[in-house]
């Protein structure tokens, strides 16, 4: 007897995370391993976070603050918004799921770039809506084609900026022109998971636009520059009305106490964030120089990773480097995504690349 699985899940594959270090150690018997697959912070997290986690352990028998009150207050002050303009999730990917569930019905359409963050596709398909993937143009969002794909069925447009996995950005002028062209009844999601790394004069400041565009939602995360990937805490900023609907399906206590306390402490240590950003820039320069010497094609990045083309299919170079103790992220064709590590981790990667490249 067949169980009543929903038809839409026939076309959805499970999310595949970067291969864990422990798996490689167990499978290949390699002890010295560098993981550059998941855009994690190679510099760890703030010492203030570690102290906050220690202090929070005494309250593990109690439910978390379901309102995320202290974190909400701190972020409202930081961004100049009202406290009711925030929604919190176990990572921003959970909020992506909320958005799809709130705004999409079966038969609706949702537009995003390809390649981009893979969770958009999963979130859209799970509602029974139809994903409309628009190929990148010269490595970044083809906003003109995305605009032309809008029709009466379009309900959500996702823009990952900087884009994952290419590290490219859309500029302030491009974003402004696009938002003006999108009908006001279509939700536009600006996924800015790598915001802190995108220190370019042309990169848009999206939060001030929330007052002008009630159909806009901006996503941020503590997983990358703040180094809290293990704790899973992200947030969305939008109009109070939109937030009220997202909160209707947000599970109770979805962000745990340790994550909430860590995020508050992380906000209090912007020096750590700036050090992470500065060291990442140095790492990008280190890798650019080496990739030039190796004659590898790559895209200049505004994030903490690089989109690189090698002479091998992505799965093949992944396996070759894996056996050298380096974990990267294979994608499509000959293109892979490589996280910027510490100086020592980058050197380890480059030595492995020199060994396996023809």
Preceding peptide of 129 cis, ω within 30°:
no
What is the widest separation between alpha-carbon atoms in the chain?
Answer: 60
Contacts of 208-213 spanning 24+ positions with Cβ under 8 A: 208/80, 209/179, 210/81, 210/85, 210/237, 210/238, 210/239, 213/179, 213/184, 213/188
Nearest-CA neighbor of 351 among 307, 301, 304, 286? 286
The model's pLDDT over 139-150, given as tens digits with 9 standing for 90+, comes to 999 999 999 999
- Say yes or no: do domains 7-44+271-356 and 57-267 share a fold: no
Bridge partners, residue 110, by sequence? 131, 156
Nearest to 131 by CA among 147, 151, 148, 154: 154
Structure confidence at residue 28 (pLDDT):
81
- Residue 16 above 80 pLDDT? no
As a whole number of Å, the end-to-end CA separation of the chain is: 53
Domain boundaries, the chain: 7-44+271-356, 57-267
Q: Could you give the CA distance from residue 348 to residue 344 in angstroms, rounded to a whole number?
A: 6
CATH architecture of 57-267: 3-Layer(aba) Sandwich (3.40)
Task: Report the pLDDT value the prediction gives residue 123, as an integer from 0 to 100.
Answer: 97
Distance of CA 308 to the CA centre of its chain: 18
Residue 23 has pLDDT above 90, yes or no: no
| Segment 260-281, tens digit of pLDDT | 999 999 999 999 999 999 999 9
Q: How far is CA 333 from the centre of its chain?
A: 22
How crowded is residue 111: how many other Cβ atoms within 10 Å of its Cβ?
25
Quote the CA–CA distance of 63 and 200 in Å, as a whole number.
Answer: 41
Give the number of other Cβ atoms within 10 Å of residue 74's Cβ: 16
pTM over 0.85: yes
For residue 48, how many other CB atoms are within 10 A of its CB?
Answer: 17
Q: 7-44+271-356: which CATH architecture?
A: Alpha-Beta Complex (3.90)
* Percentage, residues of the chain above pLDDT 70: 100
């Amino acid at each position: 007897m067949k169980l009543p699985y929903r038809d839409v899940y026939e076309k959805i594959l499970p999310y595949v995370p970067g291969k864990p270090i422990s798996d490689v150690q167990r499978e290949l018997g390699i002890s010295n391993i560098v993981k550059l697959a998941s855009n994690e912070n190679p510099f760890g997290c703030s010492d203030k976070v570690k102290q906050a986690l220690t202090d929070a352990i005494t309250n593990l028998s109690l439910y978390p603050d379901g309102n995320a009150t202290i974190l909400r207050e701190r972020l409202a002050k930081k961004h100049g918004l009202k406290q009711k303009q925030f929604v919190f999730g176990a990572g921003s990917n959970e909020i992506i799921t909320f958005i799809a569930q709130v705004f999409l019905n079966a038969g609706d359409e949702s537009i995003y770039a390809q390649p981009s963050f893979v969770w958009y596709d999963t979130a859209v398909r799970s509602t029974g809506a139809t994903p409309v993937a628009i190929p990148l143009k010269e490595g970044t969002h083809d906003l003109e084609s995305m605009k032309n794909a809008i029709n009466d069925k379009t309900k959500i447009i996702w823009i990952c900026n900087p884009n994952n996995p290419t590290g490219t950005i859309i500029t302030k002028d491009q974003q402004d022109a696009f938002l003006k062209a999108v009908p006001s009844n279509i939700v536009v999601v600006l996924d800015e998971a790598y915001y802190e790394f995108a220190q370019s004069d042309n990169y848009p400041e999206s939060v001030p636009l929330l007052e002008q565009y009630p159909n806009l939602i901006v996503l941020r995360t503590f997983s990358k520059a703040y180094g809290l990937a293990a704790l899973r805490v992200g947030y969305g900023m939008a109009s109070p009305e939109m937030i009220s609907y997202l909160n209707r399906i947000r599970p109770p206590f979805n962000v745990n106490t340790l994550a909430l306390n860590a995020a508050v402490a992380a906000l209090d240590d912007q020096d750590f964030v700036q050090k992470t950003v500065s060291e990442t820039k140095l790492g990008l320069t280190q890798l650019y120089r080496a990739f030039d010497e190796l004659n590898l094609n790559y895209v200049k990045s505004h994030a903490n990773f690089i989109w690189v083309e090698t002479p091998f299919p992505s799965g093949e170079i992944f396996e070759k480097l894996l056996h050298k103790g380096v974990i990267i992220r294979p994608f499509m064709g000959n293109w892979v995504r490589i996280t910027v590590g510490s100086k020592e981790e980058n050197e380890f990667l480059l030595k492995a690349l020199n060994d396996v490249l023809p």
